[in-house]
């Protein structure tokens, strides 16, 4: 052991996974895929996860205890949630658990206390689906094999069904290896990652304040099968927001001067938002993704709604984009003498992995069957609210990273053809089991 690489050499130690776990991983993943649930409506998925964790003897935290209620972003209306609760129960969710999740307090934290002193190690898996209509065609395996989503407009098009399965597999494997562990293992099954909405309220509730080592995980279609990134560092800071312009309607022929045109305000805002200058400090993005306005051909439009996002290579650049966007929206409203109301429905920071953790994660993946090339850095891509968890862990002196597992699949994320390479599920479980099993010795070696 040297001071530059304090991680112990464990290439000759490869734990075994519980018998039949590979098959269970596939069954869990397909069950979640078939019953896809979008952000804050993961009632059935959460209920199923709690059931497995309880059977393993893990402690479970869920419902309002898991979240700081006011920090939740982009929660659907009470009416939508009531319908989704009913749907979840009809699809086999435990009615008492669904009741306990109330107004969209979905997700669950599983806690395994060994009773022996040691570090707190935490893994994060997101569990929500996309708002997407799944391809109904025999060329798409989930459809051909009968596990395509039965929930209209909800589809696992990002691999979170696989993440939830890996989380349950990891819990199962950790239970079997419990005697070799010290300290505490936490597994957070996070809701509402799509739209970067679900992490903040769990962080605000304090569940990450004691975490010494944190690993978030994502399956990735556009990296070769078995390629691993130990420290994904390309996530952009982002703010997602809705803007409603409210004017006054009037007869477009008889009384046009009496109207206040909300559509024109939104249209002007849309064009100027896309003309915000670039930032010299790094990459920036803006997108007005939807625009809805007006009622009839001969009515001056009194209402317009746009859905917008800004992004930046770091939080400062994103703050610049969001700040300018607010000015543009206020200015456009003033120009047309209408009201504007902006609400933030999602948010993510940029947070880089802890460099000193990466050699240990690299070593944990080394030698795991199916692992190909291991890199420590990724390219700039989307946004992730797990960065809020990473930030909190690092602030409190812990180490955090974000791992990507390449699948080499053809359909991109968020497309109607997306599918998971199920071989990668057991690979993820085994490597992350090794992360947990060696954590106390690794952190001890760092003097943590």
Footprint on this chain of Zn ion (rule: CB under 5 A) = 158
Nearer to Zn ion, 212 or 349 (CB): 349
Nearer to Zn ion, 63 or 157 (CB): 157
Return the bridge partners of 108, or none.
Answer: 62, 189
CB 288, min distance to Zn ion, A: 20
Nearer to Zn ion, 85 or 124 (CB): 124
Nearer to Zn ion, 158 or 181 (CB): 158
CB 217, min distance to Zn ion, A: 10
CB 193, min distance to Zn ion, A: 6
Residue number, nearest CB to Zn ion: 158
Identify the CA nearest to 155 among candidates 125, 190, 137, 131. Answer: 131
Nearer to Zn ion, 239 or 261 (CB): 239
CB 27, min distance to Zn ion, A: 21
CB 397, min distance to Zn ion, A: 28
CB 219, min distance to Zn ion, A: 8
Cβ burial, residue 179 (10 Å; 0-12/13-18/19+): exposed
Nearer to Zn ion, 158 or 265 (CB): 158
CB 283, min distance to Zn ion, A: 19
Nearer to Zn ion, 98 or 390 (CB): 390
Nearer to Zn ion, 212 or 309 (CB): 309
Nearer to Zn ion, 20 or 412 (CB): 412
Nearer to Zn ion, 46 or 184 (CB): 46
How far apart are alpha carbons 121 and 116 in whole angstroms? 13
CB 310, min distance to Zn ion, A: 18
Q: How far is CA 305 from CA 221, 266, 276, 294, 372, in A?
A: 33, 7, 20, 10, 47
CB 413, min distance to Zn ion, A: 5
CB 262, min distance to Zn ion, A: 32
């Amino acid at each position: 052991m040297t001071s530059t690489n304090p991680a112990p050499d464990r290439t000759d130690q490869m734990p075994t996974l519980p018998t039949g776990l590979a098959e269970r991983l596939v069954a869990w993943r397909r069950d979640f895929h078939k019953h896809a649930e979008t952000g804050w409506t993961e009632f059935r998925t959460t209920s199923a996860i709690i059931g497995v964790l309880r059977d393993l003897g893990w402690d479970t935290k869920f419902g309002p205890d898991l979240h700081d209620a006011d920090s939740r972003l982009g929660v659907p209306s009470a009416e939508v949630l009531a319908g989704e609760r009913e749907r979840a129960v009809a699809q086999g969710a435990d009615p008492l658990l669904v009741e306990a999740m109330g107004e969209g307090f979905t997700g669950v934290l599983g806690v395994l206390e060994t009773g022996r002193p040691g570090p707190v190690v935490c893994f994060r898996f997101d569990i929500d689906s996309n708002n997407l209509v799944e391809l109904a065609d025999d060329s798409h395996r989930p459809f051909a094999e009968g596990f395509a989503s039965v929930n209209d407009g909800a589809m696992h098009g990002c691999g979170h069904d696989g993440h939830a399965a890996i989380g349950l597999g990891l819990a199962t494997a950790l239970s079997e290896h419990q005697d070799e562990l010290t300290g505490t293992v936490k597994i957070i099954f996070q809701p509402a990652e799509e739209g970067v909405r679900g992490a903040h309220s769990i962080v605000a509730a304090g569940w990450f304040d004691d975490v010494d080592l944190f690993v978030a995980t994502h399956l990735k279609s556009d990296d070769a099968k078995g390629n691993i990134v130990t420290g994904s560092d390309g996530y952009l800071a982002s703010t997602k927001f809705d803007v409603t312009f409210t004017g006054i309607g009037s007869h477009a022929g008889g009384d046009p001067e009496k109207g206040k045109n909300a559509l024109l305000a939104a249209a002007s805002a849309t064009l100027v938002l896309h003309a915000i200058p670039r930032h010299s400090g790094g990459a920036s993005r803006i997108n007005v993704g939807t625009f809805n306005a007006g009622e009839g051909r001969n009515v001056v439009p009194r209402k317009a709604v746009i859905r917008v996002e800004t992004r930046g290579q770091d939080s400062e650049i994103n703050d610049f984009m969001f700040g300018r966007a607010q000015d543009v929206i206020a200015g456009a409203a003033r120009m047309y003498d209408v009201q504007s109301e902006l609400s933030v429905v999602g948010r993510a920071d940029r947070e880089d992995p802890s460099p000193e953790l990466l050699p240990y994660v690299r070593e944990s993946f080394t030698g795991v069957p199916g692992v190909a090339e291991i890199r420590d850095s990724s390219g700039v891509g989307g946004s992730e609210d797990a960065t809020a968890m990473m930030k909190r862990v690092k602030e409190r002196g812990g180490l955090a990273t974000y791992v990507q597992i390449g699948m080499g699949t053809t359909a991109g994320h968020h497309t109607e053809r997306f599918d998971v390479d199920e071989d990668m599920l057991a690979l993820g479980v085994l490597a992350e089991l090794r992360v947990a099993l060696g954590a106390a010795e690794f952190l001890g070696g760092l003097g943590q």
